Amino acid sequence: MNLDTDILITLAINAGLLILLLWFIILWLILREFRRFGVEVSGNKAIDPATYALCQQSVESALNYSADNSKTLNDLVDIQQALEDQVAQIRAENDRMLSEQDNGTIDSLNTKLNKSHQLINTLRINLDKSVRGLRKAKSKLAQQNTTVEGLRMEKLQLEKEFAQLENEYIQISEAGNVADVLKEHQQEKERLLNTIENYKKKLSSIADIEQLKSELLSANQQLQHMSKEKEFIEKKYLELVKGS
């Protein structure tokens, strides 16, 4: 009979299940660390990119381990079922020939097989829960990463806008004497207008009309020049005011 071989196979299955159980403990530790990480993010603590990368790598590794363990569990289920069928077949074919000791060995083997079967079912349930938890953790991690990246971009945009406003404020501050300049131009314009009026009055009493015309033309040219300067300064001042 192959009872010794069957017992060895059962022991191998139990050893494999023990290894799987250790993997589940590792997965549980990873999930616990991720929950701690989530609390830190929720508490508005500074989380550096290296921490995000480490969490992402840990979750991905845990998902890969879970996939491998799922395949192992499926293989163990097949082996378990084949072993149960083999033991049932041995008992059915040799029921009358088996000694009391053989029957005791088979009963003990069946007991171990039942325990292994229950453990496999428990591990499968825990594996499914772990996978769901890891996928949820991965989704939350991606959302948190997106949120942090969005806040970082918004911060950069606000800093850029603030720098622009600060630059415009400096320009306006440096141009703070625009009103004084405009006042001076207005006074100069009035002075030139008065000069022109005086020249006009002198035209009727002074004989040197050509000289007066020349002076009048020069005064008009100065007036036009001052008017252009005034328009240019007013235009720049309005642009600064609108820009702020």
Higher pLDDT, 111 or 161: 111
pTM equals 0.39
What is the chain's length?
244
Dihedral-angle region of residue 44 (phi above 0 means left; psi in -120 to 50 means alpha; beta otherwise) = left
Question: pLDDT for 191-210, tens place per residue?
Answer: 766 766 666 666 555 555 55
Task: Say how far apart CA 136 and CA 236 lie, in whole Å.
Answer: 58
Please give the single-letter amino acid code of residue 176.
G
Question: pLDDT for 5-51, tens place per residue?
Answer: 556 566 666 665 666 666 666 656 655 655 555 545 444 444 566 66
C-alpha closest to that of 144 among 30, 53, 28: 53
What residue spans define the domains of the chain? 3-172, 176-243
The pLDDT score that the predictor gives to residue 161 is 65
The pLDDT score that the predictor gives to residue 204 is 54
The fold of 3-172 is Glutathione S-transferase Yfyf (Class Pi); Chain A, domain 2 (1.20.1050)
- Residue 2: CB atoms within 10 A of its CB come to 11
The pLDDT score that the predictor gives to residue 108 is 74
Rounded to 5 degrees, φ, ψ at 153 are -65, -40
Question: pLDDT for 39-84, tens place per residue?
Answer: 454 444 445 666 666 666 666 766 676 676 677 777 777 777 777 7
Task: Say how far apart CA 47 and CA 117 lie, in whole Å.
Answer: 44
Is residue 27 within 8 Å of 63, Cβ to Cβ? no
Q: Label residue 112 by pLDDT band (50, 70, 90).
A: confident
CA 144: distance to chain centroid? Answer: 6
Task: Say how far apart CA 60 and CA 62 lie, in whole Å.
Answer: 5
Q: Label residue 237 by pLDDT band (50, 70, 90).
A: low
